[in-house]
Amino acid sequence: MKELFANIEKQLGYKLPEDKRQSIARLEDIPENLLLDARNLNSPLLAEVFFRFFLKSECTTFLKVFIQDKVFSAVPRPGKKI
């Protein structure tokens, strides 16, 4: 898992902020900037690991569907603006 985090941080050009770990309680609350970062990873697997870092564990049931729908669909739907 550490290798995946290192890969994500390298691709995004920043360290994942520890103070934001598991800070998001609902998929609908993922801000637009995180959706864009996940899209820039160009990998559903890395996007899932990336989002799991920020999401509380109880709200990941539909994460794969969310990633497909919001991040990697042909016309992604907008997320929450921060």
Q: Per-residue confidence at 73, pLDDT binned at 50, 70, 90? A: confident
- pLDDT (tens digit per residue) in 24-68: 999 999 999 999 999 999 999 999 999 999 999 999 999 999 999
Per-residue pLDDT at 50: 98
Is 74's pLDDT higher than 80? no
Please name which of 27, 34, 42, 51 lies closest in space to residue 72, comparing C-alpha atoms: 42
Per-residue pLDDT at 82: 46
Per-residue pLDDT at 57: 92
Please name which of 64, 58, 28 lies closest in space to residue 44, comparing C-alpha atoms: 64
- What's the Cα-to-Cα distance from 81 to each of 21, 25, 28, rounded to whole Å? 19, 16, 11
